[in-house]
Chain A
Amino acid sequence: MDPYLILGVPPEATDADIRRAYLNGIRNFPPEQAPEQFQAIARAYEQIRDEMSRLKLLLFDQEPPGATPLDTVANFCASAPAPKPMDFEQMKTFLRSCTTK
Chain B
Amino acid sequence: MAKHQKHHKHVAAALPLDELERKANEALAAERWRQARDFFKLLCKQDHAKYLPGLIQANRGLAEALMQKGQVSEAEQVLAHLRTIAPQEEFGTVELKRAVRTEDWSAAAQTAVELWTARGDTLNEKDRQAVADALVLAFPYVEEGGEAANWPDPVRSELTAVINALRAVSEERYETAQDLLRPLPRASIFANWKTLIKGWIAFYTGAREKARSLLAMLPPDGVPAKAAEPVRVLTEPQVLRGPRTAERDHAVASVCRFLGAPEMGNSLVQADELWKAGKVVDSLQLMRRAREFPSTQSTLAGALSEFYFRVGFTLRGQVQKKYFGMIERLRTTGNLKNEAENFLVDRLLALDALLNPYSTPEGEWRRFLRHFESDPRRAKLTSLALVMVAGQLTQHEPEMGIFGFGPVRRRTEPRAATRLLKESIQANPENLVAYLKLLEIYKRDKDSAERNRLLDEMTRRFPNEKAVLLEAGIGCIERKTYVKGLGYLERARQLDPLDPQVADWIVVAQIRLARQQYEKKQTEKARATFRSIASRPSIGKLDFNSEEPFLHARQGILEIQHGDPATGEQLLAQARQETQSLSCMLMYMHGCYRSYAKDSARGKQSPFWDELSKTRPRGARERMELLRAFIYVGVLGDHLKWQKEIDLVMKHLEPAAKEEFTVKEAAELSLLLWDKKDGRKLGKRLVKQGLRHDPLNPRFRVLDVLMEQDPPYHRATELEDAVADARDAGDLEVVKAAKGPLETLMEFAGPSIFDEWDDEGDEEGEEPDFGGLPPMPGGFPIEEVSEMKRAAEKMSDEEFAAFRKESSKYVPLPIFDILMGTRNRDKSAPGRRGDDQPELF
A contact set with B: CB distance below 8 Å:
2, 4-5, 11, 51-52, 55-56, 58-66, 68-78, 80-88, 90-92, 94-101
Contact flag A74-B172 (CB < 8 Å), given A63-B310, A91-B166? no
How far is the CB of A92 from the nearest CB of chain B, in Å? 6
Stretch at the interface among B82-90, B115-123, B234-242, B563-571: B234-242
Which residues of chain B from 539 to 556 have a CB within 8 Å of any chain A CB? none
Partner of B133, one of A11, A84, A92, A99: A99
CB–CB B306/A2 < 8 A: yes
Q: Quick one: given A4-B298, A73-B303, are A98 and B227 in contact (CB under 8 Å)?
A: yes
Q: Contacts A90-B260, A99-B137, A101-B254 given; indicate if A65 touches B306 (C-beta within 8 A).
A: yes
| CB-based contact A60/B380 at 8 Å | no
Q: Are A72 and B303 in contact (CB under 8 A)?
A: yes
* Beta-carbon nearest neighbor of B200 in chain A: A85
B377 CB–A CB distance under 8 Å: yes
Instruction: Say yes or no for B307: interface residue by CB 8 A criterion.
Output: yes
Say whether A99 contacts B381, CB under 8 Å. Answer: no
Instruction: Tell whether, in the assembled complex, residue A60 and residue B351 are in contact, meaning their CB atoms are under 8 Å apart.
Output: yes
Determine whether B287 belongs to the interface, using a CB cutoff of 8 Å to chain A.
yes
Contact with A along B480-500 (1 / 0, CB 8 A): 000000000000000000000
- Extra contacts, 19 of them, besides A69-B283, A78-B237, A96-B103 (Cβ < 8 A), are A2-B303, A4-B298, A55-B377, A55-B380, A59-B381, A64-B307, A66-B307, A69-B275, A71-B241, A72-B307, A74-B237, A82-B204, A87-B170, A88-B167, A88-B170, A92-B137, A95-B166, A95-B227, A101-B253
In the complex the two chains form, what is the Cα distance from A91 to B269 in whole Å? 23
A-B CB contact pairs (8 Å), 13 listed:
A2-B306, A51-B380, A55-B384, A59-B384, A69-B287, A72-B306, A85-B169, A86-B170, A86-B260, A87-B170, A94-B257, A95-B223, A101-B250
Q: Check A72/B313 contact, CB under 8 A, given A11-B298, A77-B234.
A: no
Neighbouring A residues of B167 by C-beta, 8 Å: 88
CB-nearest residue of chain A relative to B231? A82
Docked Cα-Cα span, A101 to B253, in Å, equals: 9
Q: How far is the CA of A80 from the CA of B257 in the complex (A)?
A: 17
Chain B residues in 8 Å Cβ range of A81? 206
In the complex, A45 Cα to B253 Cα: how many Å? Answer: 32
Q: Which residue of A lies closest to B433 (CB)?
A: A52
Separation of A45 and B701 alpha carbons in the complex (Å): 40
- Contacts A99-B100, A99-B133: A55 and B255 contacting too (C-beta < 8 A)? no
Q: Residue of B at shortest CB range from A84? A: B172
A84 to B169 CA separation, bound complex (whole angstroms): 10
Nearest neighbor of B352 in chain A, beta-carbon distance: A62
How far is A19 from B401 in the complex, measured between Cα atoms in Å? 48
Q: Which 5 A-B pairs give the minimum distances between C-beta atoms?
A: A77-B237, A98-B226, A64-B311, A74-B240, A74-B237
Residue pair A73, B101 in contact (C-beta under 8 Å): no
Q: How far is the CA of A97 from the CA of B262 in the complex (A)?
A: 10
**A33 to nearest B CB, angstroms?**
14
Partner of B268, one of A52, A70, A77: A70
B180-235 residues with Cβ-Cβ distance < 8 A to A are 200, 203-206, 208, 223, 226-227, 233-235
Task: List the A side residues contacting B70 at CB < 8 Å.
Answer: 100
**Chain B residue, CB-CB nearest to A89:** B170
Smallest CB-CB separation from B283: which chain A residue? A69
B residues near A (Cβ < 8 Å) are: 70, 100-101, 103, 133, 136-137, 139, 166-167, 169-172, 200, 203-206, 208, 223, 226-227, 233-235, 237-238, 240-241, 250, 252-255, 257-260, 262, 268-269, 271-272, 275-276, 283, 287, 298-300, 303-304, 306-308, 310-311, 313-314, 347, 351, 354, 377, 380-381, 384-385, 388
Shortest Cβ gap from A96 to chain B (Å) = 5
Output the least CB separation between B346 and chain A (Å). Answer: 11
**Which label, helix, strand, loop or mixed, suits the secondary structure of the B interface?**
helix
- Which chain B residue lies CB-closest to A8? B206
Minimum C-beta distance from B199 to chain A (A): 12
A contact residues around B306 at 8 Å (CB): 2, 64-65, 72
Note all chain A residues with C-beta closer than 8 A to B260.
86, 90
Main secondary structure of the interface of A (DSSP, over half): helix
Cβ of A55 and Cβ of B240 under 8 Å apart? no
For residue A85, which residues in chain B have a CB less than 8 angstroms away from its CB? 169-172, 200, 204
Complex interface: chain B residues within 8 A of A76 (CB): 300, 303
Q: Is the CB of B310 within 8 A of A59?
A: no
Q: Is A77 in contact with B384, judged by CB distance below 8 angstroms?
A: no
Chain B residues, Cβ within 8 Å of A75: 237, 303
Contacts of B271 in A (CB 8 A): 69
Q: Is the pair B170, A68 in contact by a Cβ cutoff of 8 Å?
A: no
B252 CB → nearest A CB, Å: 7
| Beta-carbon contact of A69 and B272 below 8 Å | yes
Q: Which residue of B lies closest to A1 (CB)?
A: B303
B304 touches A72 (CB 8 A): yes
- In the complex, how many angstroms separate the beta carbon of A69 from the nearest chain B beta carbon? 4
A-B residue pair count with CB separations less than 8 angstroms? 150
Are B240 and A73 interface neighbours, CB within 8 A?
yes
Contact A70 B272, beta carbon cutoff 8 Å: yes
Q: Which of chain B's residues have a CB closer than 8 A to the CB of A55? A: 377, 380-381, 384
Chain A nearest CB, measured from B190 CB (Å): 13
Residues of B within 8 A of A87 (CB): 170
Q: How far is the CA of A90 from the CA of B692 in the complex (A)?
A: 73
A56 to B206: give the CA distance in the assembly, Å.
Answer: 30
The answer to whether A83 and B307 have CB atoms under 8 Å apart is no
Listed residue (A58, A78, A83) with the most chain B CB atoms within 10 angstroms of its CB: A83
Q: Once the chains are docked, how many angstroms separate the CA of A98 from the CA of B240?
A: 19
Q: Is the Cβ of A68 less than 8 Å from the Cβ of B275?
A: yes
Say how far A27's CB is from chain B's closest CB, in angstroms.
Answer: 14
Decide: B268 and A92 in contact? CB cutoff 8 A: no
- Which residue on chain A has the smallest CB distance to residue B431? A52
A72 to B203, CA, bound (A): 21
Given A65-B307, A68-B275, also A101-B226 (CB < 8 A): yes
- Please name all residues of chain A whose beta carbon is closer than 8 Å to the beta carbon of B237 when the two chains form the complex: 73-75, 77-78
B303 near A101: Cβ-Cβ < 8 Å: no
Chain A's closest residue to B70 (CB) is A100
Contact of A82 among B133, B203, B381 (CB under 8 A): B203
In this complex, which of A63, A64, A77, A92 has the most chain B Cβ atoms within 10 angstroms of its Cβ?
A77
List of B residues within 8 angstroms of A51 by Cβ: 380
CA–CA, A97 and B229, complex, Å: 13
A4 to B255, CA, bound (A): 21
Report the Cα distance A76→B255, complex, angstroms: 11
Interface-centre pick from A51, A70, A86 (highest chain B CB count, 10 A): A70
By beta carbon, the residue of chain B nearest A4 is B298
Beta-carbon contact of B240 and A65 below 8 Å: no
Asked if B170 and A70 make an inter-chain contact with CB atoms under 8 angstroms apart, the answer reads no
Which residues of the partner chain B approach A78 to less than 8 Å between Cβ atoms?
A: 237
Question: In the assembled complex, how far is the CB of residue B264 from the closest CB belonging to chain A, in whole angstroms?
Answer: 9
**How many angstroms from the CA of A86 to the CA of B208 in the assembled complex?**
18
Tell whether, in the assembled complex, residue A101 and residue B257 are in contact, meaning their CB atoms are under 8 Å apart.
Answer: yes
Query: A83 touching B380 by the CB < 8 A rule?
Result: no
- What is the chain B residue whose CB lies nearest that of A76? B303
Enumerate chain A residues within 8 angstroms of B268, measured Cβ to Cβ. 69-70, 73
Nearest-neighbour CB distance to chain B for A68, whole angstroms, equals 5
- Residue in chain A with minimal CB distance to B430: A52
Given the complex, which residues of A lie within 8 Å of B233, measured CB to CB? 77
Hey, which chain A residues are within 8 Å of B255, CB to CB? 73, 77
Q: Which residues of A contact B226 (CB under 8 A)?
A: 98-99, 101
> Residue on A with the closest CB to B298?
A5
Which residue of the partner chain, among B238, B272, B303, B381, contacts A68 with CB atoms under 8 Å?
B272
CB nearest neighbor in B for A78: B237
* Cβ B304 vs Cβ A99 within 8 A: no
Q: Which residues of A contact B384 (CB under 8 A)?
A: 52, 55-56, 59
Q: Once the chains bind, are B258 and A94 in contact (CB under 8 Å)? A: yes
Cβ contacts under 8 Å, A92 to chain B: 137, 139
Q: Kindly state the separation between the CA atoms of A90 and B223 in the bound complex, as whole angstroms.
A: 16
Contacts of B351 in A (CB 8 A): 60, 62
